[in-house]
Structure 1
Amino acid sequence: MDFAASCKNQKDDKACSFRFCYKCLLNRYGEKAEEMELLGDWKCPKCRGICNCSFCMKRRGHQPTGILAHTAKATGFSSVSEMLQVQGPESISVSPRKLPSTKVLDLKEGFPESVLYELMHGCGRRRGQYSSIVQFRNQLLGLIQQETGQKSLLTTTTDNGDSWAQGLCKCMFDSHYALKEFPFDCFDIHGEGYKKLDTTKKLRLLNFLCDEALGTENLRSWIDEQNSKVIERRKKAKEKVLAAKEKERGMKRKMQNKIAKAILLKNGAPLQFPSMRILF
């Protein structure tokens, strides 16, 4: 049987009927049921509008967070409530909204898997139909050509034409890293030689283009910008954690003072808990 703290809040001339067991109160809100029971004006989390049960979260327009007691402790928070205050409810739960596309190359969620699947199993498409490999290859070549001031002609997601083959040949010629394992005729008109390459060599070509694209100013600037944003977010999150912990310490001091006053009113006699309520 677990000890439960009763809410002292009066609503519409009626006392709140909610009682919180010591485990829920401690793990989810960082409060001790025995100490809360001593306070004559203690309001339960529901009356304070901070209840993080699934029902209350939905009523406030948030997604249910699920069981987060272990997650909160593992990340340095004293309770689930403190973690939600710092990180926000939407950052914890899985949002049904669409994920934003990745910048620079504008790659959608699941696109890398689509490229690898097509490499392994083929596209199985008719001529002129969409190909994720062709799109990715042309995007990388376009980024590289933009770096060198060339006008990219790669505006299609199909293999029609030989502009991509010409662009790839020039990219390989200008690169500091030679790809000796590829035959000279693998990038002929319409890329017929390319189609004869095995999966490993096609993947090797994509890796080569990725390495070359990583050296472009556009991609490097974007990476540096993202790193700066991550550092700034971590800094702000750390400041929020410190502020939340300081606030919690202040609340604990205030609570301890109230408990000390209650003990003094009893002339130093030990406090008793006449009403032990059980939460079923």
Structure 2
Amino acid sequence: MGAKGAAKGACREESVAVPEQTEEVKAAAPRKRNPCPGLRSVGGRIYDPENGKTCHQCRQKTTDFAVSCKQPQKRGLCPIHFCHKCLLNRYGEDAEKVTKEEAWICPKCRGICNCSFCRKKNGEMPTGILAHAAKASGHSSVHDLLIKGSDMVAAAQTLTSLPLKVKKGNPKRALETDDATNGLLAQGDENIGIDLNALPSAPVNKKLTKSKCRVDNMTADEKLPVENKDRPQVRGDSTDVCTEKLVLPSGTPVTNIVGIELKTEDAGPAIQFYEFCRTFAEVFQIRKGQPEKVLQVITGGGRIFREVPAVVAELHINLLSVIQEDREENPLDYSRDKDTWINDIGKYISELTLLSKELPAGCLNQGVLGYKGLSPSLKLHVLNLLCDETLSTTKLRNWIVNQNESATERKMAAREQIRAAKEKEKELKDRLKNEMAKPMFVRKGAEINCLISQIKEANKDKEAAVNGLNNVN
């Protein structure tokens, strides 16, 4: 009594005072349990609160086939029952064979009960849903797994904690397990916390019929006349419909591109130019930071130069040289501080059939003076025009094809790594199963721990290969 009183006193000290709910809150709160659920069928089991038998393991009162204990006590026989599912999954005993025994003793009377209540009374932790792990590791029941020690339990849980394969067939049986019996739920401690009485006593038909016609606007008291059944029903004009157009909020225009403040109309062309440089930097030998510097100079940021800056002239010359090579022309050795490259760009633009109306004719025939007289928007337009023309050249097309082939090879290599990692993981899991199937005096704990760590490493390698494949895509 003293120990119990001390325990109760400790509970009182640690308890938290909860304010009482008002009458309105109590009335509005839904009831968690149905005190009179009645006879019902859920999940293939018939729950009968009056004539059913309560299983000691899963604590469910059903009409399932259950076995009664025949251990004599002071007031007659032991009143404990075990349903056939719990007896098979948790203890590996066949209910039909056990029934034929004249003096069958239940697991509780034998002192081997592994339900949550009995384990807590013995100072042990509840096992939870352990039937899947037991069968996946080759054991006949949870009891067979528990008697082999905590190392074996940890190894079995490691097998079931790994990701399961997904079947491509029936979606209702999506997860594939190692044994067909894993589809049956172990009717044990996993039923704790599931309010089966709150389930409806009869299945609810949720199938809705699709209407074949639309109904006129009617009030609740009006009925559809009989003569109107043959004519098609059309929805009338409703006065409740809002005829005003919804005004969407205007977004904030993007004007800051790579740290450079631009006009609203120049933001799109600037992004186009920057993406071109980022994609084809290897072909045109574009250095890091060069696109940002070109945008800053073209849009008028920084110092005012008398001549075209070298960073801008160099990029224009590289683009023009690729176009001239594709046209089987010998690219000239242009000087950055002269007008020759500007005049050649002007001639090439004037020969294009689809010339932009925004770009004045002959604007680049005056060399440096003509280029410096262009607005920042037109300078950016000229640069993007050259970038677009290089996309149709043989040099860039071949480079794009080579990049696609290289990406395909990387995808194949990543898929091969995934396949190898899966095979290695499967091999290690098979070795772990074989090791756990050995007797305890032959089993090696260090080897089991090593296999578990190797399985985890193989799983990490597989995830890394999958991430690599996603990056290639």
Q: Which residue of 1 aligns with 2:414?
A: 237
* Maintained 8 Å contact 1:154/1:164: no
Shift of 1:264: 8.5
Q: Gaps (5+ residues) in structure 2?
A: 1-149, 156-162, 164-279, 444-473
Q: Which residue of 1 aligns with 2:41?
A: none
> 1:178-257 maps to which residues of 2 (within 5 A)?
178-257=355-434
TM-score normalised by length of structure 2:
0.33
Shift of 1:220: 0.8
- Kindly provide the CA deviation profile for residues 80-117 of structure 1, in whole angstroms up to 9, marking residues without a partner as x: xxxxxxxxxxxxxxxxxxxxx94321112232222222
* Maintained 8 Å contact 1:111/1:132: yes
What is the identity percentage for the equivalent residue pairs of Structure 1 and Structure 2? 32
Shift of 1:119: 2.2
**Partners in 1 of 2:152 and 2:318 — Cα distance?**
62
* Maintained 8 Å contact 2:319/2:386: yes
Q: Which residue of 2 aligns with 1:165?
A: 342
| AA aligned opposite 1:239 | E
**Partners in 2 of 1:205 and 1:35 — Cα distance?**
72
Across the two proteins, how many residue pairs are aligned to each other? 172
Among 287, 295, 300, the alignment partner of 1:116 is: 295
* Maintained 8 Å contact 1:186/1:192: no
TM-score normalised by length of structure 1:
0.53
Moved more, 146-155 or 194-203: 146-155
Matched, 1:106 2:285: yes
**Relative contact order (alpha carbons < 8 A, sep ≥ 6): 1 or 2 greater?**
1
Shift of 1:145: 0.9
Among 304, 308, 323, the alignment partner of 1:144 is: 323
Q: Secondary structure at the match of 1:186?
A: coil
Are residues 126 and 247 of structure 1, via their aligned partners in 2, closer, same or farther at CA, if it must alter by over 3 Å? same
CA RMSD, 1 decimal: 3.1
* Maintained 8 Å contact 1:144/1:213: yes
Q: Gaps (5+ residues) in structure 1?
A: 1-32, 39-72, 74-100, 267-280
- Kindly provide the CA deviation profile for residues 214-253 of structure 1, in whole angstroms up to 9, marking residues without a partner as x: 0100111111111110111111111111111111111111
**Partners in 2 of 1:127 and 1:213 — Cα distance?**
29
Are residues 202 and 126 of structure 1, via their aligned partners in 2, closer, same or farther at CA, if it must alter by over 3 Å? closer
**Partners in 2 of 1:192 and 1:234 — Cα distance?**
51
> 1:69-80 maps to which residues of 2 (within 5 A)?
none
Q: Which residue of 2 aligns with 1:47?
A: none
* Maintained 8 Å contact 1:187/1:193: yes
Are residues 176 and 243 of structure 1, via their aligned partners in 2, closer, same or farther at CA, if it must alter by over 3 Å? farther
**Partners in 2 of 1:263 and 1:174 — Cα distance?**
88
* Maintained 8 Å contact 1:138/1:154: no
* Maintained 8 Å contact 1:153/1:163: no
